[in-house]
Copies of this chain bind each other. A is one copy, B any other.
């Protein structure tokens, strides 16, 4: 197995290769050299046309939904409105419908005979799903359900693909049967006529309009309001609930299901954000390797900026984090498949941490890349920045970690949740009061047990603070974010370990290479106590996380100044040895020029050549249209100098 297959996953890599091959044979006909000069409507139309063109390729080649989604990602830099049908709508039909319903609806969505989306968020309620206001009232007389948006704040909002494209939408609304509130349920509603594409009666939809910095400019996010909209009872999704003809209501109490779908989405987010960040970092690395600045060498050339700590200490850990997101995110999918053997709450707590951590680090790392090499990173940045808020605002979501800690601490049940191992540590008063032994050299920080100690001790300190803040009745909603990030550092680190360990048995050569890339420092003075297992130790990841989280150790005696100096030295050596492996890692990721889509990553041009070419193509190079206005302004002083002109 190639390193590329290990990074992307064997199946994804095969799909990726098929898609790249198809796109080379049938390249997109709809192209635009500089899409960011377009008006929003023009850009939106361009992206839709590209989406539709790929739809034809999908049909022609018999691709499934995942092929299509991956092809969109590879060939079209902005997310457009066909994505929700295959990504969210179709998946929820399969997950939440009864088998009869599935038989009817799923083929239609697969064929794109209908175009669907998922409408949950309202103007007034995003994270707080429980208080969604849209009502779905059962009318026993007609055997229908009546949807209503009673208030301004109950308008569905931010619904991707709804503003223009959708013919159908899944709607989350509060079911009311005979005056009884039964909580949120999901309904499928046709919103546009299949022939004319006009809105259906009793449904009002607006496209949401332009957003600043072009975030999701090529998506038609929609606003929707229902006024006495009637749908047949059969359009309530019945995978886990049943509403009978007369209004009798049955619910299968399947918590497993709702957990699972969140776990899957968050595992997927981790992978996808990892891919996006990798792409950004690869562009920045390309530029940082080309660009020279200061410190002329003997040959008169200045030093490549990648050689400075200020650049590599930001880009290398970012690449390491991105790959970790890809690998560990994939691990989640594997675990979900064998779910019975696993602890669902544990997986949930892992992936809540992943969502918060991946979006926070992701957006910061892309921002770093963008500041070093602006070209081409704007749309990745704009999308990622929003991801901190959608799928659960990061501060709101972090409270799930905080609440779990409180619950298991009180009940003394943390043994059942491996992700909360640090609570066990926290109960061990002796362990918490110990100091980390003075290490004999930097190598000590490369052993997994020390790294585990450090990462776990840090979360334990923050958890302890959280528990006492909660007990004192303080509002923990701000501080719990730092706790969650530390929690996720530990969980990601363990996931990375298990991914590399696990893989190694089957695919030794590839792993060995990867492990070198993300971990062990060959140049360390001969450490006979570093065993073979230690080689699987993703040290750069761990050391960066610990160094960036040192604030938790302030006031604690766990780490001495000597410890910290050795830790910094170990990190420095790791970064330095990692530079030998960056190229093979970048090659294994294998992003094409089309995907990188940046003036800094052209196959046949240097960044400077590409920047000049971009300038030569600017529409404003013909400025004749503005010359009369300029000439007038530059002569204005003559009029007013004489003091004659008055308003």
* Chain B residues near A207 (CB-CB < 8 A): 615, 618, 620-621, 623
> Contacting chain B: which of A307-315, A340-348, A506-514, A520-528?
A307-315
Looking at A41, A212, A631, which has the most chain B CB atoms within 10 Å of its CB? A212
Q: Contact between A112 and B481 (Cβ–Cβ < 8 Å)?
A: no
For the complex, give the distance between the alpha carbons of A45 and B646 in Å: 27
Determine whether A477 belongs to the interface, using a CB cutoff of 8 Å to chain B: yes
**C-alpha gap A112/B646 in the complex (Å):** 19
**What mask results when residues 372 to 393 of chain A are scored 1 for a CB within 8 Å of chain B, else 0?**
0011111101100100110000
Q: How far is the CB of A40 from chain B (nearest CB, A)?
A: 5
A104: interface (CB < 8 Å): no
Counting chain B CB atoms within 10 Å of each CB, the highest count among A41, A196, A634 belongs to A634
Contact (Cβ within 8 A) B127 A634: no
Q: Which of A410-418, A532-540, A555-563 forms contacts with chain B?
A: A555-563
A212-B378, A634-B194, A637-B112 given as contacts; is B40 within 8 A of A629 (CB)?
no
A210 to chain B, nearest CB (A): 4
**Chain B residues within 8 Å of A625, by CB:** 45
Query: Using an 8 Å CB-CB cutoff, how does the interface string of A470-500 with B read, 1 for contact, 0 for none?
Result: 0000111111110000000000000000000
Provide the residues of chain B in CB contact with A112, threshold 8 Å. 633-634, 636-637
Q: Least Cβ distance of A563 to chain B in Å? A: 6
Query: Quick one: which of B41, B56, B153 contacts A636, CB cutoff 8 A?
Result: B56
Stretch at the interface among A242-250, A326-334, A605-613: A605-613
Quick check: B157 and A611 within 8 Å, CB to CB?
A: yes
Known: A208-B614, A618-B210. A634 touches B113 (CB 8 A): yes
* Nearest CB in chain B: distance from A307 CB, A: 8
Residues facing B in A88-127 (CB within 8 A) are 111-115, 123-127
Q: Is the CB of B164 within 8 A of A626?
A: yes
A634 to B49 alpha-carbon distance, docked (Å): 13
Q: A197 vs B632: C-alpha distance in the bound complex, in angstroms? A: 12
Contact B128 A637 (CB under 8 A): no
A212→B376 CA distance, assembly (Å): 7
B34 and A37 contacting across the interface, CB-CB below 8 Å: no
Cβ contact within 8 Å between A611 and B212: no
A residues 223-245 in Cβ contact with B at 8 Å: 223
Q: How far is the CA of A201 from the CA of B146 in the complex (A)?
A: 74
Shortest beta-carbon distance from A450 to chain B in Å: 16
List the number of copies, as a whole number: 2
User: Whole-angstrom distance from the CB of A323 to the nearest CB of chain B?
Assistant: 21
Question: A48-B626, A630-B115 known; A313 and B478 CB under 8 Å?
Answer: yes
Complex alpha-carbon distance, A562 and B465, angstroms = 12
A34 touches which of B42, B210, B553 (Cβ 8 Å): B210
User: Is A616 in the interface zone, CB < 8 Å from B?
Assistant: yes
Q: Which residues of chain A from 351 to 385 have a CB within 8 Å of any chain B CB?
A: 367, 370-371, 374-379, 381-382, 385
Closest Cβ of chain B: how far from A132's Cβ, in Å?
12
Write out, one digit per residue, whether chain A residues 271-315 have a CB within 8 A of any chain B CB (1) or not (0). 000000000000000000000111010000010000011111110
Interface string of A123-155 (1 = CB under 8 A from B): 111111001000000000000000000001101
Q: Does the CB pair A215–B310 fall under 8 Å?
A: no
A634 and B114 contact, CB distance less than 8 A = yes
Roughly how many angstroms separate A308 CA and B206 CA in the complex, as a whole number? 32
Contact B60 A647 (CB under 8 A): yes
Distance of A564 Cα from B167 Cα, bound (Å): 57
Residue of B56, B62, B563, B614 touching A209 (CB-CB under 8 A):
B614
Cβ contacts under 8 Å, A456 to chain B: none
Check if A38 sits within 8 Å of B39, measured CB to CB: yes
Q: How far is the CB of A50 from chain B (nearest CB, A)?
A: 11
Report chain B residues within 8 Å CB of A627. Answer: 196-197
Chain B residue nearest in CB terms to A479: B309
Given known pairs A55-B633, A210-B36, A637-B113, the reply for A645 and B60 (CB within 8 Å) is yes
A430 contacts B by Cβ under 8 Å? no
- Tell me if A572 is interfacial: C-beta within 8 Å of chain B: yes
- Which of B55, B302, B375 is A128 in contact with, Cβ under 8 Å? B302
Interface-central residue, A112, A164, A549, A562, by most chain B CB under 10 Å: A164
Tell me which of B155, B167, B212, B223 contacts A377 (CB under 8 A).
B212
Q: Is the CB of A608 within 8 A of B34?
A: no
Contact A308 B477 (CB under 8 A): yes
Take A26-B647, A309-B478, A555-B553 as given contacts and tell me if A374 and B612 are in contact as well, using a CB distance cutoff of 8 Å: no
Listed by A's residue number, 6 A-B pairs whose Cβ atoms lie within 8 Å are: A56-B633, A56-B636, A163-B618, A206-B621, A208-B614, A215-B378
Q: Using a CB–CB distance below 8 Å, which chain A residues touch chain B? A: 26, 34, 36-42, 44-45, 48-49, 52, 55-56, 59-62, 111-115, 123-128, 131, 152-153, 155, 157, 163-165, 167, 194-197, 206-215, 220, 223, 292-294, 296, 302, 308-314, 367, 370-371, 374-379, 381-382, 385, 388-389, 395-396, 474-481, 549-557, 559-564, 572, 608-609, 611-612, 614-621, 623, 625-627, 629-637, 639-641, 645-647
Which 8 residue pairs of A and B lie closest in terms of their CB atoms, listed nearest first?
Answer: A212-B378, A111-B637, A310-B477, A213-B378, A206-B615, A207-B620, A313-B478, A59-B640
